Structure 1
Amino acid sequence: MKTARFSSTPASAQAPACISQPRCAAAHFGAWRAAMPSRAAQVVLFLPAALSCAAAHAQLAPGNAPLLPPVVVSATGYPQPLSTALPSVSVITREQIEDYAAQNLTTLLQQVAGVQVTSNGGPGQSGNVYVRGFSGPDVLVLLDGVPLNAQDSTGVAYLNNLTTDQIQRIEIIRGNVSAIYGSGAIGGVVLITTREGSRKPQGSVSVTVGSRDTTTTSADASGQIGKTALQAGVSRYTSQGIPSQNPSQSGLPNQADGYRNTTAHGSVVQEWAAGQRMGLRAFSSEGRYTYDNTENAGQVRQELGQLFSDNQINPNWLSHLDLSQQTTTNANAGSFTSDYRTRVDQLSWRNVVQLGKGWTATGGLQVQHQGITGRYDYGYGYAGSLDRTRTAKALFAGLNGSFDGNALQFNVRHDSIEGYSGQNTGYLGYGRELGGGFKAIASYSTAFNAPPLGYLYDIGNGGNPDLRPEKAHSAEGGLQWSRGPNVWRATLFQTQATDQWQYLGGAFQNVARSRTRGLELTGRGSWNNWAYDANLTLQQPVDLTKPGHPTLQRRARSLANVAINHAMGSLLLGAAVHYSGPRMDKNYGAYPATDAVLGSYTTVDLTVSGAITAQWSWNARVQNLFDKKYQMVYGYNREPFGVFVGLTWHPLGL
């Protein structure tokens, strides 16, 4: 009999089983941490698994065993139950990815509180992710701890190019956390963790087919030889897609824009002594697409290579060192051509130190070498190239602890980016236990964002070498209730930013000022074979530079999501409802551009999955059940009703 899934686990779980199966490590953390000799030792044994797959594949507890809330790593840099995190955090586990049968990362993100996704058409098309009204370079995206935001004139992370097969876990921090993560974290941070090997041999092969000639095939295998954990996976996604631009609004032919993506990932991790391990990761995602209703074509390739070492210096001190390189290539061909490659080489050293009962210190340093090379040819002699680099350095420290029902988090960071004076940021969070599972939470933080190299030097796309960093400050206050796996929070938030970049007069300028304030309600948990995740965001993202403070372009003032699943016999049934309020946009097809209102919309997705045998399982997903016609960007279509069916084989019977 299936049980409704949720990323929590019974307190009776044992540590050895947890450690031998990293997919379950985070869910079991709370159950066995009291037996560990120190918090640093807990982190040494737990953090590698948490970073790769915390809270995956946990189910409702048998009998009356108590359930625990999911574990998060992003709020402090080390694992803690979601209910104790002071920043506003959401988590998407591997289990949830499989249950929702989502093939694209952005499909998952739009179900998160305060997150809004836009797309210029169907799968693989360009788009943006907004967190509490901030987007593009103001939302920092990390892949295995390495910045994924491109240094080109978009500043985005090209999340529309990422499929889900090789992703283990996603954590989303809403709100300003520059003091923890540095430049670009004004709106929030999206942390993506790729899959990692396990001790027990595991393997799977899956095929999904569906509407619009969509096919996904993937294979994944992991295991351990001696003290060496191995993992490898590959996936292929193809879709006929839809006409990206609405022919009645654009005048383009009614031709579908196809997309195909190949993603591969692998890791090797060697444990050479107790609490000491080294590893190597490699990741590649290549997407090819047509746009403008097949009139033009493009390609996005994202690659990551990482060498890391986790070391227990002493019983109270864990050190993590990694050296990595992330590259993003974006090429377009057709009526105009461009080819850009951006690169971030990063050396990072992070430390977690147990100071005493209830108190933990974090700190470290980071060095990045950022670069961009590219060329463009827009015709009529308007062509050029660029090749620029810069160095960015950072020192950071944090202190977290609790005493007499009070929780405190303090983070400071100093960033030194070539071409700019040093930038200092801070985060101060406080929580107070009120009894009965209630807790009051408040925080204040500052942030900055240095311009991507493309914003500075890509003259063909509005580059301005005189741009200054953006600045911001934020305040939050909230009330939380938690019991077992159930965590509910109401948060009032405000972020005000100055010196924001705006494309004006053919170039980026520091002319914008904005403010986002609002109320966020989130709740997740499980009860009697039901699991739920619900949220409501009411926000006012406004432009402070214009009279009347109009709502910022493409930002909705109201967002809501409800996702539930229920175990019924051998089946797991699920439903997800997504609502977005109306948004203002521009009709750039008119000259001069005119204002346009994008209407509100609600979409409903259904899922069902079940086991056939110990080695075979199946799933089905209905997308946009009521075939809602809507646009996230004026003139660009979104995907209509679709049905997708998948079959998975676990050849090892796991």
Structure 2
Amino acid sequence: MPAFAPRPVRTLPLAILFSGAFLPLSALAQDTATQGTTVALPALSVTANRVPTPAAGTGSALTIITGEELEQRQTSVLSDVLREVPGVAVNRTGPVGTLTQVRIRGSEGNQTLVIVDGIEMNDPSSGSEYDFANLLAGDVERVEVLRGPQSALYGSDAVGGVINIVTRRGKGPLSAKAAVEGGSFGTLAGRASVAAGNERYDAALSGQGVISDGVSVADRRRGNPEKDGYRNGTLAGNFALRPTDNSEIGVVGRYTRFRADTDDFVGGRGAVDSGTDTSGEQYFGRLQGKVAFFDGRWEHIAGVSHGNQQRDYRDSAKTVTSSYEGRKTKLDYQTNLTLTGGPAEHVLTAAVEHEDEKAISKSSFSNFDRSIGSTGLVGQYKLGLFERLTLTGSVRHDDNDLFRDATTWRTTAAYLIDSTGTKLRASYGTGVKNPTLFELYGYTATYAGNPDLKPEKARGWDAGFDQPLWGRRASLDATYFNQRIRDLITGTGRTSVNMPGESRVRGVELGLSVEPVDKLVLRGSYTLTDGEDSTGTELVRRPRQLASLNVNYRFLDDRANANLGIVYNGRASDWAYDAAYNRQVVHLAPYTLVNLAGSYRLTEQVDVFARVENLFDRHYEEVWTYGAPGRAGYVGLRLAL
């Protein structure tokens, strides 16, 4: 059986996509970005309404992170920057390279849909959840985090929200970039890219990788001194051709190969040192075409995407004990019609999507090979009035192979008060989350599937405002959210069941951005989450309080940059398992992490940079009995040609 930390609730399949993966880069251009504040939101969101929408017209809670911010923070693994997003909790089962779950507003990890360049990344063989462990940040241009139920637009996996990631595209004459860094735990990392583009084409190719001796996956304070290493190599590329002014054909691809040393999980003890490891490959691709008529007012987008994620679990003798493979293929078509008349703008969107998923596992105790298909029909109407009021209404019907057909809907409103710059916003949506193939039919030495599971049903709403202050040098945003889920699927240790009654999650998200002087930007966030299942028990791995502060300063004529990041993760609960894999609730202590990063441009082509992670050497556990790295330092060099 693979060595892993038992996932606290369940796992599932089915989703949807559309991201704007081939939206011209000029349309994505932006200034700086903050955590969802009015002062720094980029001009457009491509996720909130499945069509490019001005930030002032998005009624859902949204955070956008730019590639510039990632570079300022020197983010190497993308999940680390998500810790600073309001309403988002990140749990890593040990050091970098181990299972990394992301939860939005108290929802489960497999209730978050993850999209990279228009490709859905959720893995059918891993409970329909995307493991962020192997997603490096070196080629990321933009991240949008859309919070709240989004099933009406994106299907089953989007009950909690959507994380949409767009990588860099070519622009301008042929250019090349490279970077290398090294530091603590025997770590060596590097990346290189080439890119070019003009009004008729763009192309980009990148490679990045990391090698590390690591630290023990099992917490060393519990008597586990063995180091566990990590290897990751990723290649990515995209190409788009625009034969006419109103058409585009594009292709994207991504390949990752990884190996992570792991430790065993023993009932009654938790994680313990062992010589086990996990290795695997992931490859994704998408082909997409776009064409627009009537001066761009009627747009058609068609695409096909495929993903394959495979991993092998090996024992200390390096013998494969079990293998898992998840495959997902999707066909999609979307059309957008824009009509204007007087003070009103009408955007009508219709889409049809068909998705096939397959999960395969092979081990000494069972073999598993199951598939599921679904077809979704989507309709949305977006109304803009007087450039102040934006209303949307969306509905989706899913025809499922294994479950009852499901219909979900969503509505949003955003209103801009010109005199004060205040944006008032609200949204309400419903969601459905189907059981995963493993929950239905899976089998291990300690777990049997339950084919009688029912889909989960969710409903949620939020309301908030974005307020610029101090002559737009500052911005404050606040959101209240409330979400309820019926038939929540939970693990019992030996199988999965639908819980009777209704689970609920509610809370508050706050964000503040301030630029007290030119080139000094402070961004803070705070989230209070109250989540419990239908029995009144606190939901595990959802901290009640999350907070962050990021301070960035550019100086010496922009040749130098300094960044301070502070992340607070409040007390959380987790599950501990006895020798028979019966579980009980344990509590994880709160912790605060402080990171420092700095860079200096020696010439127009050469930068040096350095960072310190976990400056005060805090010891903490994000998952019961699993360790985390202590203080670490890294230095590196960047080249641009």
Q: Supply the AA of the counterpart residue of 1:279.
A: G
Farther-moved stretch of structure 1 (601-610 vs 403-412)? 403-412
Whether the 8 Å contact between 1:289 and 1:299 is mirrored in structure 2 is yes
Whether the 8 Å contact between 2:562 and 2:598 is mirrored in structure 1 is yes
Q: Supply the AA of the counterpart residue of 2:277.
A: A
Whether the 8 Å contact between 1:348 and 1:365 is mirrored in structure 2 is yes
1:304 alignment partner, SS class: strand
Q: Supply the AA of the counterpart residue of 1:49.
A: L
Alignment of 1:336-355 (within 5 A): 337-355=321-339
Q: How many Å apart are 1:46 and its aligned residue? A: 9.2
* Aligned partner of 2:352 among 346, 350, 365: 365
* Aligned partner of 1:620 among 600, 610, 625: 610
Q: Supply the AA of the counterpart residue of 2:321.
A: T
Farther-moved stretch of structure 1 (363-372 vs 448-457)? 448-457
Whether the 8 Å contact between 1:50 and 1:79 is mirrored in structure 2 is no
TM-score scaled by structure 1?
A: 0.86
Q: What is the distance in 2 between the residues matched to 1:345 and 1:237?
A: 29
Whether the 8 Å contact between 1:262 and 1:285 is mirrored in structure 2 is yes
Q: Supply the AA of the counterpart residue of 2:280.
A: V
Q: What is the distance in 2 between the residues matched to 1:303 and 1:533?
A: 35
Alignment of 1:280-295 (within 5 A): 280-292=251-263, 293-295=273-275
Q: What is the distance in 1 between the residues matched to 2:256 and 2:32?
A: 25
1:257 alignment partner, SS class: coil
Tell me the residue number matched to 1:311.
Answer: 291
Alignment of 1:252-263 (within 5 A): 253-263=224-234
1:212 alignment partner, SS class: helix
Q: How many Å apart are 1:407 and its aligned residue? A: 2.2
* Pair 1:393-2:375 in alignment: yes
Q: Deviations over 1:377-424 (max 9, x none)?
A: 2xxxxx111222221111112122232543211111111121122111
Q: How many Å apart are 1:248 and its aligned residue? A: 4.6
Q: How many Å apart are 1:155 and its aligned residue? A: 2.7
Cα distance, 1:647–1:56 mapped onto 2, change above 3 Å:
farther
Q: What is the distance in 1 between the residues matched to 2:327 and 2:625?
A: 33
* Aligned partner of 2:442 among 438, 450, 458: 458
Cα distance, 1:161–1:620 mapped onto 2, change above 3 Å:
same
* Pair 1:518-2:516 in alignment: no
Q: Supply the AA of the counterpart residue of 1:387.
A: D
Q: What is the distance in 1 between the residues matched to 2:199 and 2:117?
A: 25
Tell me the residue number matched to 1:9.
Answer: none
Tell me the residue number matched to 2:270.
Answer: none
Farther-moved stretch of structure 1 (219-228 vs 507-516)? 219-228
Q: What is the distance in 1 between the residues matched to 2:148 and 2:578?
A: 34
Q: Supply the AA of the counterpart residue of 1:151.
A: P
* Aligned partner of 2:569 among 580, 583, 597: 580
Q: Deviations over 1:33-78 (max 9, x none)?
A: xxxxxxxxxx999933278x6437899xxxxxx9874132111122
Tell me the residue number matched to 2:149.
Answer: 176
* Pair 1:611-2:587 in alignment: no
Cα distance, 1:330–1:490 mapped onto 2, change above 3 Å:
same
Whether the 8 Å contact between 2:20 and 2:118 is mirrored in structure 1 is no
Q: Supply the AA of the counterpart residue of 1:95.
A: E
Q: Matched residue pairs, number?
A: 592
Q: What is the distance in 1 between the residues matched to 2:634 and 2:103?
A: 27
Whether the 8 Å contact between 1:257 and 1:294 is mirrored in structure 2 is no
Q: Supply the AA of the counterpart residue of 2:488.
A: Q
Tell me the residue number matched to 1:384.
Answer: 366
* Aligned partner of 1:406 among 389, 393, 403: 389
Tell me the residue number matched to 1:105.
Answer: 78
Whether the 8 Å contact between 1:142 and 1:191 is mirrored in structure 2 is yes
Cα distance, 1:81–1:227 mapped onto 2, change above 3 Å:
closer
1:267 alignment partner, SS class: strand
* Aligned partner of 2:171 among 198, 202, 210: 198
* Pair 1:445-2:406 in alignment: no
Whether the 8 Å contact between 2:596 and 2:615 is mirrored in structure 1 is yes
Q: Supply the AA of the counterpart residue of 2:209.
A: R
Tell me the residue number matched to 1:17.
Answer: none
Q: What is the distance in 2 between the residues matched to 1:371 and 1:593?
A: 30
Cα distance, 1:640–1:203 mapped onto 2, change above 3 Å:
same
Tell me the residue number matched to 1:415.
Answer: 398
Whether the 8 Å contact between 2:306 and 2:330 is mirrored in structure 1 is yes
* Aligned partner of 1:433 among 412, 416, 425: 416
Q: What is the distance in 2 between the residues matched to 1:528 and 1:105?
A: 28
Tell me the residue number matched to 1:271.
Answer: 242
Whether the 8 Å contact between 1:69 and 1:487 is mirrored in structure 2 is no
Gaps spanning 5+ residues in structure 1: where?
A: 1-42, 60-65, 378-382
Q: What is the distance in 1 between the residues matched to 2:443 and 2:553?
A: 54
Cα distance, 1:554–1:117 mapped onto 2, change above 3 Å:
same
* Aligned partner of 1:504 among 486, 492, 507: 492
Cα distance, 1:416–1:468 mapped onto 2, change above 3 Å:
same
Q: How many Å apart are 1:282 and its aligned residue? A: 0.9
Cα distance, 1:636–1:54 mapped onto 2, change above 3 Å:
farther
Q: What is the distance in 1 between the residues matched to 2:221 and 2:602?
A: 46
* Pair 1:160-2:133 in alignment: yes
Q: How many Å apart are 1:234 and its aligned residue? A: 0.6
Q: Supply the AA of the counterpart residue of 2:397.
A: H
Q: What is the distance in 1 between the residues matched to 2:335 and 2:617?
A: 50
2:185 alignment partner, SS class: coil
Cα distance, 1:532–1:202 mapped onto 2, change above 3 Å:
farther
Q: How many Å apart are 1:603 and its aligned residue? A: 0.8
Whether the 8 Å contact between 2:21 and 2:117 is mirrored in structure 1 is no
More contact order relative to length (CA 8 Å, sep ≥ 6): 2
* Aligned partner of 2:479 among 484, 488, 491: 491
Tell me the residue number matched to 2:454.
Answer: 468
Whether the 8 Å contact between 2:57 and 2:389 is mirrored in structure 1 is no
Whether the 8 Å contact between 1:136 and 1:154 is mirrored in structure 2 is no
Q: Deviations over 1:142-180 (max 9, x none)?
A: 122222111125332111111111322211111111111
Gaps spanning 5+ residues in structure 2: where?
A: 1-18, 264-272
Whether the 8 Å contact between 1:45 and 1:275 is mirrored in structure 2 is no
Q: What is the distance in 1 between the residues matched to 2:473 and 2:77?
A: 27
Tell me the residue number matched to 2:109.
Answer: 136
Cα distance, 1:593–1:415 mapped onto 2, change above 3 Å:
closer
TM-score scaled by structure 2?
A: 0.88
Q: How many Å apart are 1:330 and its aligned residue? A: 2.2
Q: Deviations over 1:463-497 (max 9, x none)?
A: 22222111000011112213758543211110000
* Pair 1:551-2:538 in alignment: yes
Q: How many Å apart are 1:84 and its aligned residue? A: 2.9
Q: Supply the AA of the counterpart residue of 1:55.
A: Q
